[in-house]
Amino acid sequence: MASGRRPARAGGPPPEPRGVLFRHPPRALRGARAWQIGARTVHIAAMALVLGGVAWRAPARDLVAPMAITALSGVVLLGIDLGKSFAILYQGSGVAALLKLALLGAGALLPSARLEWYLAATVVASIGSHMPGAWRHYSFLHRRVLDASDEG
């Protein structure tokens, strides 16, 4: 076959993603851990300011900078993960991140319940960041945990 992919068997498991974007195991990025720690620290602090500002009904203009810093640091975190492999998008940790983004979007669309949506996003983010490795690396596509020994 020209694509190099194995055909899916009827009723069998889905084909393993391959190629540049959906690498498994994920590629190692030099300095990624340090960047992740720094960006996550900034992300948590900025989101704390946003959440506190929403809770205490701060004027929207006072939340522009913390929201921008939260968004930028979130883009850095997601960019690092995607730089390793887009496969994260169908694993537990990536699904938690996408759910968090959906909850934040709901808060933006429904400002009267923004605090509740942002709190829900914070809960999902905390669970997503601290859940066991088997949950973080569970692939909803493959219906199993992906680990470094997988050659998918």
Q: Which residue has the tokens 């068997």?
A: 9
pLDDT in tens, 69-113: 999 999 999 999 999 999 999 999 999 999 999 999 999 999 999
* 81 contacts: CB under 8 Å, gap ≥ 6: 88, 93, 94, 97
**pLDDT for the residue numbered 152:** 44
Q: Which residues on neighbouring strands pair with residue 116, listed in sequence order?
A: none
In DSSP terms, 139 is beta-bridged to 91, 144
Tokens representing 60?
């929207």
pTM to 2 decimal places: 0.80
Compute the distance between CA of residue 63 and CA of residue 50 in angstroms, rounded to an integer.
Answer: 6
Which tokens in the block code for residue 97? 């991140």
